[in-house]
Structure 1
């Protein structure tokens, strides 16, 4: 399925810092790299990693909702509160159009949340195509490029094949290989 278009790429990269299957969490390295982009120096301080982790999972749950999967009660309210706290301003572009951008002078965590909110706003309906993989052991965020927008897995070759094989085996057609 693939990479999200530019306004949503930050969302996809942030969510995919956690490998749900292995538990490997690359958030710290991601934030360190992002801090370098934000401030011109490479240091992880400045972000509240615990808040970013909560936000990351709310974004994943939004992707699950886009995929038609059940999300925990209260997730929408929590997500709305996080996005409402993102300080955005209208800024003119060189072509005369206006765009939402993070307000100046935000602390690192709020700047990240504001950049995500601005990306979601800029993406319009494309935001709904950013989905979480239907495989419970994956939940990778992918951009659904299928014509009808009905993709279910981040990769048909991996997660899709595994799901279809499990369904096939559950019907009793093939014995499971250990």
Structure 2
């Protein structure tokens, strides 16, 4: 299994903003997604409340990752949606072996979502959290792991989203520089 950063990236990417398609369009699809990643058992099912919590967690993560591009200090406003979703998940934090560990206190799909919340803590502990970002292209918002040395990557793909953004900026500059006929 991949690490916590990959798991969180994949969870955020269950909704494709550009294509407006959602892998988690129902509680049943949420259960399948969690089951395929070993976060719940074969017999666990998800209900509407689990599904609503999953969507809140996913979009809270997307919002928080969007702000991993910035170096500002307004983190509280940036993570409000994520904090709200995390608060809804009953968790226990312990100092097992001297390192903090988290364990969901629920069962079924809610436990699976709690394991996703624990992945947030794990990504922070491993130092991977600042590398988790969403594409700066507003129409895309695809989550990715910034593997650049200086953590400056802005787009999921330079060929597609980076090119779109730079082309728009170039055209806007050209339009401003072009004298208008009298």
> TM-score over 0.5 for the alignment?
yes
Q: Is 1:76–2:79 an aligned residue pair?
A: yes
Equivalent residue number for residue 107 of structure 2: 106
Equivalent residue number for residue 13 of structure 2: 16
Q: Find the aligned partners of 1:13 and 1:31 in 2 and give their Cα distance.
A: 15
1:105-124 CA distance string (max 9 Å, x none): 43412x23321222122222
- The alignment covers a number of residue pairs equal to 164
Equivalent residue number for residue 65 of structure 1: 67
Contact kept in structure 2, 1:58 and 1:75, CA below 8 Å? no
Q: Find the aligned partners of 2:45 and 2:88 in 1 and give their Cα distance.
A: 25
Contact kept in structure 1, 2:34 and 2:109, CA below 8 Å? no
Report the Cα offset of residue 77 of structure 1. Answer: 3.1
Segment drifting more, 137-146 vs 118-127: 118-127
Structure with the greater relative contact order (CA < 8 A, sep ≥ 6): 1 or 2? Answer: 1
Report the Cα offset of residue 78 of structure 1. Answer: 3.6
Report the Cα offset of residue 41 of structure 1. Answer: 4.0
Report the Cα offset of residue 13 of structure 1. Answer: 1.1
Segment drifting more, 145-154 vs 113-122: 113-122
Equivalent residue number for residue 144 of structure 1: 146
1:53-96 CA distance string (max 9 Å, x none): 1221110000111122999x95633422322443134485xxx6
**Pair member with larger Rg:** 2
Question: What do you get for the CA RMSD once the two structures are aligned?
Answer: 3.0
Unaligned runs of 5+ in 2: 176-182
Contact kept in structure 1, 2:93 and 2:102, CA below 8 Å? yes
Q: Find the aligned partners of 2:20 and 2:146 in 1 and give their Cα distance.
A: 24
Segment drifting more, 135-144 vs 160-169: 160-169
Equivalent residue number for residue 179 of structure 2: none
